[in-house]
């Protein structure tokens, strides 16, 4: 059977793939694996969990199911309400919780939802721990009764604790900076504008009116056209966009040019390097990062360490080797001195802080790197398990030989959708497009 946990938790269409029953079962298993449910009888203290969600309508019934599973297992639950994933991660640590739960499908459309679990300290789980939770689904548990059952209370006021935290991490004032922020009708719709205003920026918020069904619909980090239009029409200094759960951030400069995660990491790494704050003069990136990013870092005197795709793999490498900056081209940026996961709001505050301190436009700062043309084609509706078919392997080898040292090929099954991603870099966009299109055709036939 396919693994239940994907790249970022358990995800699927809410009510069909991700049902209330599954959500409750996952919560019960997670309570025993992460919270040592039953500890009340042995120690006199019940485990504590914090639960947050994004504004999806399905988050309401999934939250109820998760809370029920946790409390029935003897875990006290603090309901945080609608908050970004990094806020839930921070509060898991700040409130001394034994585990955290976030209900979100990130950048996916409203019908999807997901469950992400966080360990003590607010860190994402390893594959081994996720496998243990999955293995223990449906066990014949002995549930507590009477005073042993978990208690549930609302803790919606904890949002300010998170805002205050991210503001303490930025030394530069944003006074006079005119910014547009796109909240994707998602989890950051209240905390992000509030934090940026308190940091001193003049803020215009778009995509900040969630109705439960419009999350990521035409707004946010996967739909930057509206942000580009508003930044240009308002004459703003820059714009930033989050995804549905605000664990990632992308930006646009005053001309509307897109500043992706590679650019953001390059800007932050160069600034931290200049101030002596970049641990081991190294930044951690994934195999998806543009070759231009790696060349720019080399020229700046910064080492790039690569991991598999997924911000938790970046985090694992950062923690194991003592690095403090890493991330993905998609905008997941981890600043480990201040957060345990990718944090869109934190990233945007520090990016704006560099702009304010340097006193130059974001466009100029972004020129630290020149990206090579990179074409990404998402081939949908294919069998991800066939990504190593001989026909495809041969086509990849041929493409790599054709590109030589001036480009590269990366074929990667999606961790969350029935899709295979085809990425090609080359010296010219035309060449990259030709090779990527040819490989995508092979994927469609070989992986049908």
Average pLDDT over residues 321-336: 96
Q: Give yes or no for a contact between 47 and 31, defined as CB atoms under 8 angstroms apart.
A: yes
pTM of the predicted model as reported, rounded to 2 decimal places? 0.88
What kind and span of H or E run contains 379?
strand 374-380
- Banded model confidence at residue 179, pLDDT cuts 50, 70, 90: very high
Average pLDDT over residues 194-207: 98
> Of 13-22, 384-393, 408-417, which one has max mean pLDDT?
13-22
- Banded model confidence at residue 345, pLDDT cuts 50, 70, 90: very high
pLDDT over 80 (residue 38): no
**CB contact set of 35 (below 8 Å; sequence gap of 6+):** 47, 48, 49, 70, 73, 75, 98, 99
- For the chain, state the CA radius of gyration: 22
Phi then psi for residue 79, to 5 deg, are -85, 115
Q: Which of 106, 289, 330, 348 is catalytic?
A: 106
- Banded model confidence at residue 44, pLDDT cuts 50, 70, 90: low
pLDDT over 70 (residue 41): no
Side-chain-facing half-sphere of 446: CA atoms under 13 Å = 21
pLDDT over 80 (residue 43): no
- Banded model confidence at residue 66, pLDDT cuts 50, 70, 90: very high
Amino acid 348: pLDDT: 98
Q: Which of 42-56, 64-78, 180-194, 330-344 has the lowest mean pLDDT?
A: 42-56
Tracing tokens 């081994």 back to the chain, one arrives at: 128
Residue 383 CB neighbours (<10 A) = 14
Average pLDDT over residues 94-104: 96
Amino acid 236: pLDDT: 98
Over the chain, what is the mean pLDDT?
A: 94
Tokens representing residue 285 in the block: 């990136």
pLDDT over 70 (residue 226): yes
d(Cα 219, Cα 226) in Å, to the nearest integer?
Answer: 7
Q: Which residues pair with 305 in a beta bridge?
A: 284
Amino acid 42: pLDDT: 56
d(Cα 37, Cα 41) in Å, to the nearest integer?
Answer: 9
Amino acid 37: pLDDT: 57
Average pLDDT over residues 225-250: 98
Average pLDDT over residues 205-213: 98
Q: Give yes or no for a contact between 93 and 122, defined as CB atoms under 8 angstroms apart.
A: yes
Average pLDDT over residues 108-118: 97
Amino acid 229: pLDDT: 98
pLDDT over 80 (residue 1): no
The total number of residues shown for the chain amounts to 448
Tracing tokens 């499908």 back to the chain, one arrives at: 105
- Banded model confidence at residue 40, pLDDT cuts 50, 70, 90: low
d(Cα 433, Cα 88) in Å, to the nearest integer?
Answer: 40
Backbone CA torsion sign across 308, 312, 315, 317: negative
Average pLDDT over residues 193-200: 98
Catalytic, 289? Answer no
d(Cα 221, Cα 225) in Å, to the nearest integer?
Answer: 10
Burial class (CB in 10 A: 0-12, 13-18, 19+), 94: middle
Amino acid 407: pLDDT: 86
Q: Which of 34-48, 107-121, 237-251 has the lowest mean pLDDT?
A: 34-48
- Banded model confidence at residue 39, pLDDT cuts 50, 70, 90: low
């Amino acid at each position: 059977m396919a693994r239940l946990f994907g790249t970022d938790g358990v995800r699927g269409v809410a009510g069909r793939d991700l049902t209330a029953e599954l959500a409750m079962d996952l919560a019960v298993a997670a309570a025993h694996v992460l919270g040592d449910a039953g500890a009340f009888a042995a120690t006199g203290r019940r485990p504590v969990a914090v639960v947050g969600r994004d504004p999806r309508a399905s988050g309401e019934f999934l939250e109820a199911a998760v809370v029920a599973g946790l409390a029935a297992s003897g875990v006290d639950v603090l309901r945080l309400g609608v908050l970004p994933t990094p806020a839930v991660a921070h509060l898991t640590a700040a409130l001394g919780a034994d585990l955290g739960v976030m209900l979100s499908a990130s950048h996916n459309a409203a019908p999807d939802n997901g469950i992400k679990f966080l360990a003590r300290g607010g860190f994402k789980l390893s594959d081994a721990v996720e496998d243990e939770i999955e293995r223990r689904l449906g066990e014949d548990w002995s549930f507590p009764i009477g005073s042993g059952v978990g208690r549930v209370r609302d803790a919606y006021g904890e949002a300010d604790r998170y805002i205050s935290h991210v503001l303490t991490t930025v030394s530069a004032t944003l006074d006079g900076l005119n910014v547009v922020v796109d909240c994707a009708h998602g989890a950051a719709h209240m905390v992000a504008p509030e934090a940026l205003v308190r940091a001193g920026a003049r803020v215009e918020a778009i995509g900040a009116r969630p109705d439960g069904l419009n999350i990521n619909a035409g707004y946010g980090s996967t739909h930057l056209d509206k942000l580009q239009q508003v930044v240009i029409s308002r004459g703003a200094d820059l714009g930033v966009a989050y995804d549905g759960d605000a664990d990632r951030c992308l930006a646009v400069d005053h001309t509307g040019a897109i500043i992706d995660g590679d650019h953001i990491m390059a800007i932050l790494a160069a600034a931290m390097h200049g101030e002596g704050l970049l641990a081991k003069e190294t930044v951690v990136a994934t195999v998806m990062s543009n070759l231009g990013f790696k060349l720019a870092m080399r020229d700046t005197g910064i080492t790039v360490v690569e991991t598999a795709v997924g911000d938790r793999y970046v985090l694992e490498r950062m923690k194991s080797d003592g690095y403090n900056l890493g991330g993905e081209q998609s905008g997941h940026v981890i600043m480990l001195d201040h957060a345990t996961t990718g944090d869109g709001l934190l990233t945007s505050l520090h990016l704006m802080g560099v702009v304010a301190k340097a006193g130059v436009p974001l466009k100029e700062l972004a020129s630290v790197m020149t990206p090579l043309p990179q074409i990404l084609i998402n081939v949908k509706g294919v069998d991800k398990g066939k990504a190593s078919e001989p026909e495809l392997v041969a086509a990849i080898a041929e493409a790599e030989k054709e590109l030589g040292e001036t480009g590269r090929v990366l074929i990667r099954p999606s961790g969350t959708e029935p899709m295979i991603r085809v990425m090609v870099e080359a010296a010219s966009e035309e060449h990259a497009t030709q090779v990527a299109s040819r490989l995508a055709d092979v994927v469609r036939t070989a992986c049908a």
